[in-house]
Structure 1
Amino acid sequence: MEADFRSAVIEEDLQVLDTESRELTPRASELLAHRSGDVVAEEVRNCVIRARTSPAHTASGLRSALRDVRESLRRVGEDRGLTVAAAGAVPLVPPGSALVDESPRMRRLLADYEFLARGQIYCGTRIRVDAVDTDEAVALACRIAPHLPVFLALTASSPFLRDGSDSGYASCRSVAASQWPTTAPVAGVCSAEDYHALVDDLVSSGVISDPSMVGFGIQPGADGRSVEILVCDACPSADATALVATLFRALVEREAAALARGAEPAAPVETRLRAALWRAARSGLEGALVDPVTLEPRPAADVITDLVDSLAEQLSGTGDLDTVRELVDDALYNGSSAFRQRQTLRRRGHVQDIVDLLVVETSGTSGPRSPVPDAHSRLFGVYLPIEGLDTDPSWDEAVEAGGRPRAPYDPVLTALQQIGTVRLRARQVRAEQEASVAGVTFRVTGQERPHAFPMDFVPRIITSEVWERLAAGIEQRARALDAFLDDVYGDQEFLAAGHLTPEALDRAPGFRRSTGRVLGADRIRAHICGIDLVCADDGRWLVLEDNVRVPSGIAFSTAHREMTASLFGDLVDEFDLHSPDQAFPMIRETLEAAAPPAAGDTPNVVVMSSGSADSAWFEHRLIADRTGLPLVTPDEVVFRDGILHRRTGDGLLRVDVVYARIDEDMLLSSPGLDGVPLRDGLLDALAGGRLTVANALGNGVADDKAVYASVPAMIDFYLGESPVLDQVPTYLCADRTQRDLVLDRLGELVVKPIDGYGGLGITIGPECSEAELAARREELLTRPEGYIAQEVVALSTLPTFDGTHMQRRHVDLRAFAHLRREGGRTTAHAVPAGLTRVAPAGSLIVNSSRGGGGKDTWIMR
């Protein structure tokens, strides 16, 4: 029976890696020397080997053969500090020529093709299926070529370049391969005679040295008795590679039968096929593919499913149909290797983790098997406690302990279940691409390039009753902080009453004794405050941190709303939500209200940024655009006769209010339009009442972690009120008694630098190693005044889509309050919008600059 079916052989290039450094290493010969059999051949680079399976004609046979070859190589390398990875590219490639084989063939390639041969080391997969002769192989190539994009999408596994930067493609290997002079989707001829003539012409032209350099996406095999595809990346998923081989073998069977019935082997239009392959290389399984029949874009899942359905007869003949459908379901559920690699980098932040993922998948499986085809099981079947934490699961705002959605979230989670994993992932990738186009980016600490701000589809829902209490709490806190700032740069009555020591004030890095006093008394200082809140203990809200220097995040809340509105449609309107766009007229109103009396009834306000290098540049641009205010940098303003002016097309225009989205020290030291630092002019204009800077200079003292501990006392001292919102119990390590308590409980507490921001320098006791705790202990013994400690708060969690399923992630909420002088008194106005920030997987630190993301915040009216 087996003789009635054509067999397939898989040849894949495997990258040889050093297990310690995780880098490519030129030691392929060591594996070859100890590998029994003749199924492994050395490649032209000595860090790559080519493994070949024995022939098989079923999906299970191909998968087993591929796994056996990989396992034998893994065992050989295990004792030698070597391993292999099947991937189109790996992101850790050492410099130099050590990886290049010094064979005559390689030297010829380097001499003829230079940078093409010296570039990143790419690895592909070659799948060969029996053919009667070269004539049939050429004809089969013509008929099968339109399906090549599906094979590329299924195996796409080269998203990163050799330096670890993202190429923007799911398969940069295939894009790079297209630069070679003889690379094309298909030869474009329909007979063996024409094919051989084409190859002879290429050799005689001197463009290639021999026929082995021909690299069409699909072509006759060198033996003349097979047809082979070369379009695929080497793929860590043996299942995906075996799936492609099985589909290709079935296509050969079907098209061979069609040819035997007299069908024409018409060559496809190369330009269209090349474009379709580019589309597959760009987005893999996570975007649209070009339908081979209609040439219209369609979801990859639909195109692949249609192909399987069209091959049902051939797959059933070998007993493969059920297996192939399972493999397709798994591939779509887990996503492409390129997608999984990007998710790994996002979760863990290290290129080495990508290599580890590739090694694990090469030797095992590429993720969980797809659950039963039920949307809830797919999305929430693995809704587990936070990865990496030993504590009990935190309170989840959306899902009850028994797994049922809480009432406000029921329609949202139901809608997500109906969309399903595969389409939700495709929408997520598309949304992030659109975010990049719109400039919704943020720079993670330690990374040079900004990335699309990670945005999750599952919103946070805040009922009107909860929001009423939160709004009252943040308004109260903003008024108290503003009163403190006015006092601390004035009479310092709060210190005199013993609520804060002079030493604590002097230690506060944000305290600016000279610049802070420039502003006259009874003036608003904290015009726009950002208050960070966390939900804990079954719905109890706490204040985690205050931000009255340059609080960011409001623009991202708008971007989130636009994304969720595109997903949920009318459901957003059914919830009767506050629009985050309300924030922008509020910003303008607050800034105009802050203008000095000399500005008159039509003050001129500008938004000032350090420029496009700022991590929040997107927000600066959006605020300026939505408020209708000009966006300027320091080098666009200048002082004339003690008044600040900005450059316009018509000359200089007076400026009354500067909304400073720039660090205070940078603002003061930056040269203006005339090259003179702005410091003296700013201080003179502020002191003379001719200019307002929002937020005011010196506000950083209120962001100090040690000062935070005194805010409840501020509320009582300045307002005569009790705090509406509690805050996290805090210990001042500058106090000997409190420091000793912290040292005794170091493994239980969160320790923060008093001047820390962006989550920098924080240690969370239960998550720390003994070495990390020992280092922090030494810091507390030698410089205790630089730290505070807090109780660990079990931050609430919300479902967050990680590309495959919903995962619990810790969240916080940045809410905003504006202060204005109205009718001789200070009024506070909570902004009915907020930024829900999501911690990276396995972390309690919720901060965008640490690699977290965000969610839309639905505040109900």
Structure 2
Amino acid sequence: MADDGRRALGVEEEFHLIDLRTRRLTPRAPELLELLPHDVYVEELQRCVIESNSAVHRGLDELRADLTRSRATLSAAAAELGMGVAAAGTVPLAVPTELQVTETPRYRRMLADYQLLAREQLICGTQVHVDVVDRDEAVQVSKRVAAYVPIILALSVSSPFWSDGADTGYASVRTLVWQRWPTTGISAHVDTADEYDAAIHDLISTGVISDPGMVYFDVRPSAKVDTLELRVCDSCPSVDTIALIAGLFRAMVVREAASIAAGEPGVVSHPTLERAALWRAARSGLEGDLVDVVTATPRPAAEIVRSLVADLRPQLEQLGDWETVYRLSEQAIHDGSSASRQRRMLRRRGRLNDVVDLVIAETAGRVVAPAVADSDPGLLHGYQPWTQPGEPKTYDEAVTADGRVQGPYREIVAATAELGPVELRKRQSLVEREQSIDGVTFRISGHDRAQVFPLDVVPRVLNAAEWQTISSGVAQRALALNAFLRDVYGEQRIVADGVIPIEVLDRAPGFRSVGSAPAWAAVRAHVCGVDLVSTEPGRFLVLEDNLRVPSGVSYAIANRRLMTQFFPEIPRPEGLLDVSEAVGMLADTLAAAAPPACVGVPACAVLTSGWDDSAYFEHKMLADGAGIPLLLTSDLLVHDGIVYRVDGEHRERIDVVYARIDEEMLMSSVGADGNTLRSGLTQAMRKGTLAFANSLGNGVGDDKAVYAFVPAMIEYYLGETPGIAQVPTWLCAERSQRDYVLDHLDELVVKPIDGFGGIGITIGPHATEDELAARRRELISLPERYIAQEVLNISTHPTFDGSGLYPHHVDLRVFVHLRSGPDGVTAHPVPAALTRVAPAGSLIVNSSRGGGGKDTWIVSR
């Protein structure tokens, strides 16, 4: 019989086994089990999972110490074999074909009977056992605690990613996978152990399950001993979370057992509502609302957790657990769920490997990120602008070297701090949910699927003077580059006059013969994207130019809408420019791009490679906003030098195509008639019946070697001094410059001339010896493929990382439209700029490398 004052409890934990070299699941449990005590560690269905069983304890602190020791033993043994141990519902890297079901008769039978369910059982859970007087009490208590089970699940959620690396949108996808088994979910609503056993007997009689061990209710009486089992939880990286859940569950059992003995009714809730509450907990965890099953209303998770802890205070004090459970519950609310921490790590670093490393480290009890005290009024506890040893102090745009928030950021940071980390995390979760619904996604390099494009809560402010410098400087640059493109595909005066060596063009991969097709075009770079960085107050440098398919303006528009919707407390300055004007500007720019043979209002279209394009969201938003069709190459038909849009039997002439597709993919694609588009599109451009925005062949203007000559272009074509400086650049194709780069390789950034998305970059001061050696060999054998630049100490900006504000490097993509009219070619800066945020500790700021973005506030006065 259980002692109501100190009912004993124990825990079973399941752990994923990770290959530390690949960060993938590895089926080596039998090998690891040979090194471990067989009475504590046992096999599971999948050979990439090991289960550990704690001893039975009456004290919560003793249980926590036992779990800590058990994890330490397991982690140490795994490390000897090159493995890590991860306590999480799922881990994001696995190759299912490499995994194996454990070779026992029972597990082989389960594989044969349940097929996909067994093969995809790449999940881990935690079970808590609490003593009961007898199985009748267990059955009655299980019904009465069902209303509170979703709260427990919300505390444990740790499975936001599936094994293919995709963000599922759920805090606990393990719950969804687990509920596919036929006997999971809410327990049978019966009143006695005999009725419960009869229900289980009937289940076994159906042949759907083979034994009582396959009853996986969220709360169930044990089939072997007098305990009540809580089975709903994900495995938890944090031992503190397990201790908190065990303490709460035991207190619930004590309370409900006492109420039963006193003849008092329990909470009455409908199973349908309980299931809905469980789904909501799996969806949002601690970062959203949970369902209050008593009132059938949504309430903030933090509020519901605090209410449960307060309601259980008499039992927790009786058990001696009050202070521990209260402290751990507040810590859990402050830190957020493991699912939230994993997503934050992906935003910070942009790599799933780092997510796996985070879970392994937390499982082993190592602190990965410093906690920020709620008492800090500005969430700037320990805020230090990011600087490498020996480098000059990094310029932070919002916080001075002595920690003072300056200028317009004083009110912004104050409003952010007023919301607090818990509310900010909740709002961020709501933002990501909205982004997922709207498709505001981008594909991070190396990922098969697109992820949401994270929005940071602290906007970036550009004052009127800064915007005047930026907008006029990038407009000047766009005009010069457009003149260069017209010239280089025509007379090549700039080459004849010795401003640019012909070798630079010969080596430029983006210099294509198709570029000469629209010889009539006054504008070739209709939509220009210019990437800038700041290195000191008011000083911006051009990092690179984007004249092919510059993306990002729709993300700037979406960021403004999301900030307005979810963070209305952050005060907006007067004179804030309206980002939504960008869509109307695009419609005007495309109309102005009409080819010579166009009669009347030009018919325009946006061309995309399809929904799996990393920026498909932008393609669709721009097409819808501009009121023009979004087409695939298979929708195009070229006949007699004229391009048509084909829709069933209907044909409609197209005059202007805004091409958001790789040039080579476009030209090699098959049109509606089954023929390759290359010759037909080229003919249409030559005849002046079709205009591409941006023109094909513009990649030569994006070339990193050509970039070095843009200041000379501005002087040559415009007769002006550059309004914005750019980064000093060495052309490795030139022997003397290459030799300088080789001598200073550990001090410079080396980039491929045709690179994009931060791919192929070596940052000398941060590179390993092996990386430098490999780059040295490439510079010696293929120097013409690379340029080198100084390492810039680019500015940082306060970025919310889940618990406080930390400095992350930022850049700025500014957009300029060029149009041809009576006054010649004119430049029109777009009042929507995209601030991109680098992962923590990284100097590479690019959407495809992770990090995210900020709402950029351009102030006109």
Counterpart amino acid of 2:409? Y
Cα contact 1:344–1:354 (8 A) shared by 2: yes
1: CA distance, partners of 2:786 / 2:19:
41
1:388 positional shift? 8.0
SS where residue 498 of structure 1 aligns?
Answer: coil
1:330 positional shift? 1.9
Residue deviations 1:599-655 (CA, integer Å, cap 9, x gap):
344222222222223222111111111111222222223234433222357832222
2: CA distance, partners of 1:711 / 1:424:
43
Are residues 388 and 431 of structure 1, via their aligned partners in 2, closer, same or farther at CA, if it must alter by over 3 Å? farther
Say yes or no: does 1:396 pair with 2:396. yes
1:109 positional shift? 2.7
1: CA distance, partners of 2:50 / 2:730:
59
Cα contact 2:350–2:839 (8 A) shared by 1: no
Cα contact 2:400–2:406 (8 A) shared by 1: yes
Q: What residue number does 1:302 align with? A: 303
SS where residue 296 of structure 2 aligns?
Answer: coil
Q: What residue number does 1:674 align with? A: 673
Are residues 755 and 141 of structure 1, via their aligned partners in 2, closer, same or farther at CA, if it must alter by over 3 Å? same
**Higher deviation after alignment, 578-587 or 183-192:** 183-192
Are residues 201 and 463 of structure 1, via their aligned partners in 2, closer, same or farther at CA, if it must alter by over 3 Å? same
2: CA distance, partners of 1:76 / 1:633:
54
Cα contact 2:17–2:48 (8 A) shared by 1: yes
Q: What residue number does 1:469 align with? A: 469
Are residues 268 and 66 of structure 1, via their aligned partners in 2, closer, same or farther at CA, if it must alter by over 3 Å? same
Cα contact 2:385–2:796 (8 A) shared by 1: no
Are residues 609 and 167 of structure 1, via their aligned partners in 2, closer, same or farther at CA, if it must alter by over 3 Å? closer
1:309 positional shift? 1.2
Cα contact 1:59–1:242 (8 A) shared by 2: yes
TM-score by length of 2: 0.94
Q: What residue number does 1:689 align with? A: 688
SS where residue 473 of structure 1 aligns?
Answer: helix
1:434 positional shift? 1.3
Are residues 422 and 485 of structure 1, via their aligned partners in 2, closer, same or farther at CA, if it must alter by over 3 Å? same
**Higher deviation after alignment, 12-21 or 465-474:** 12-21
Q: What residue number does 2:450 align with? A: 450
Counterpart amino acid of 1:520? A
Aligned pairs for 1:71-470 within 5 A: 71-81=72-82, 84-93=85-94, 95=96, 99-223=100-224, 225-264=226-265, 268-365=269-366, 370-374=371-375, 376=377, 379-386=379-386, 391-470=391-470
1:747 positional shift? 0.8
Counterpart amino acid of 1:428? Q
SS where residue 845 of structure 2 aligns?
Answer: coil
1:25 positional shift? 5.0
Residue deviations 1:470-493 (CA, integer Å, cap 9, x gap):
111011111111122222222222
1:310 positional shift? 1.0
Residue deviations 1:197-240 (CA, integer Å, cap 9, x gap):
22232233333333232222112233553322111122121100
1:241 positional shift? 0.5
2: CA distance, partners of 1:688 / 1:234:
65
2: CA distance, partners of 1:632 / 1:213:
52
1:460 positional shift? 1.0
Cα contact 1:133–1:225 (8 A) shared by 2: yes
Cα contact 1:9–1:56 (8 A) shared by 2: yes
SS where residue 405 of structure 2 aligns?
Answer: coil
SS where residue 254 of structure 1 aligns?
Answer: helix
2: CA distance, partners of 1:383 / 1:346:
19
2: CA distance, partners of 1:11 / 1:540:
58
1: CA distance, partners of 2:113 / 2:701:
65
Identity %: 51
Are residues 218 and 474 of structure 1, via their aligned partners in 2, closer, same or farther at CA, if it must alter by over 3 Å? same
Counterpart amino acid of 1:622? M
Cα contact 1:837–1:846 (8 A) shared by 2: yes
Say yes or no: does 1:717 pair with 2:713. no
2: CA distance, partners of 1:410 / 1:434:
28
**Higher deviation after alignment, 138-147 or 802-811:** 802-811
1:768 positional shift? 0.8
Equivalent pairs, count: 859
SS where residue 516 of structure 2 aligns?
Answer: coil
2: CA distance, partners of 1:647 / 1:112:
50
Q: What residue number does 1:652 align with? A: 651
1:47 positional shift? 4.8
SS where residue 515 of structure 2 aligns?
Answer: coil
Are residues 207 and 549 of structure 1, via their aligned partners in 2, closer, same or farther at CA, if it must alter by over 3 Å? closer
2: CA distance, partners of 1:481 / 1:138:
76
2: CA distance, partners of 1:691 / 1:37:
74
1:834 positional shift? 0.8
Aligned pairs for 1:536-555 within 5 A: 536-555=535-554
Cα contact 2:548–2:698 (8 A) shared by 1: yes
2: CA distance, partners of 1:679 / 1:45:
51
2: CA distance, partners of 1:678 / 1:99:
47
Cα contact 2:817–2:830 (8 A) shared by 1: yes
SS where residue 400 of structure 1 aligns?
Answer: coil
Cα contact 1:387–1:841 (8 A) shared by 2: no
Residue deviations 1:538-574 (CA, integer Å, cap 9, x gap):
3311111111122211111101111111133275654
Say yes or no: does 1:6 pair with 2:45. no
1: CA distance, partners of 2:554 / 2:381:
34
Cα contact 1:129–1:249 (8 A) shared by 2: yes
Q: What residue number does 1:509 align with? A: 509
Are residues 790 and 241 of structure 1, via their aligned partners in 2, closer, same or farther at CA, if it must alter by over 3 Å? same
Are residues 508 and 64 of structure 1, via their aligned partners in 2, closer, same or farther at CA, if it must alter by over 3 Å? same
1:446 positional shift? 2.6
SS where residue 399 of structure 1 aligns?
Answer: coil
SS where residue 599 of structure 1 aligns?
Answer: coil
Counterpart amino acid of 1:430? L
Cα contact 2:522–2:825 (8 A) shared by 1: no
Residue deviations 1:86-125 (CA, integer Å, cap 9, x gap):
2323445565697433333323333433333333233222
1: CA distance, partners of 2:547 / 2:829:
14
Say yes or no: does 1:525 pair with 2:509. no
1: CA distance, partners of 2:117 / 2:688:
64
Counterpart amino acid of 1:595? A
1: CA distance, partners of 2:324 / 2:5:
20
SS where residue 695 of structure 2 aligns?
Answer: coil
Q: What residue number does 2:484 align with? A: 484
**Higher deviation after alignment, 110-119 or 716-725:** 110-119
Residue deviations 1:433-464 (CA, integer Å, cap 9, x gap):
21121111222233222221222222111011
SS where residue 745 of structure 2 aligns?
Answer: coil
Cα contact 2:644–2:651 (8 A) shared by 1: yes
Cα contact 1:120–1:161 (8 A) shared by 2: no
Q: What residue number does 2:636 align with? A: 637
1:82 positional shift? 5.2
Counterpart amino acid of 1:431? V
Cα contact 2:130–2:229 (8 A) shared by 1: yes
2: CA distance, partners of 1:238 / 1:47:
21
Cα contact 1:389–1:842 (8 A) shared by 2: no
Cα contact 1:333–1:422 (8 A) shared by 2: yes
Q: What residue number does 2:808 align with? A: 809
Q: What residue number does 1:701 align with? A: 700
RMSD of the TM alignment (CA)? 2.7
**Higher deviation after alignment, 600-609 or 421-430:** 600-609
Cα contact 1:186–1:270 (8 A) shared by 2: no
Counterpart amino acid of 1:829? H
1:76 positional shift? 4.5
Q: What residue number does 1:604 align with? A: 603
Are residues 499 and 368 of structure 1, via their aligned partners in 2, closer, same or farther at CA, if it must alter by over 3 Å? closer
Cα contact 2:16–2:87 (8 A) shared by 1: yes
1:81 positional shift? 4.6
1:427 positional shift? 1.5
Counterpart amino acid of 1:124? G
Counterpart amino acid of 2:235? A
Cα contact 2:169–2:433 (8 A) shared by 1: no
1:290 positional shift? 1.1
Counterpart amino acid of 1:474? V
Gaps of 5+ in 2: none
Residue deviations 1:648-706 (CA, integer Å, cap 9, x gap):
57832222222222233333333333233333333333333333222223222211111
**Higher deviation after alignment, 38-47 or 201-210:** 38-47
Say yes or no: does 1:763 pair with 2:735. no
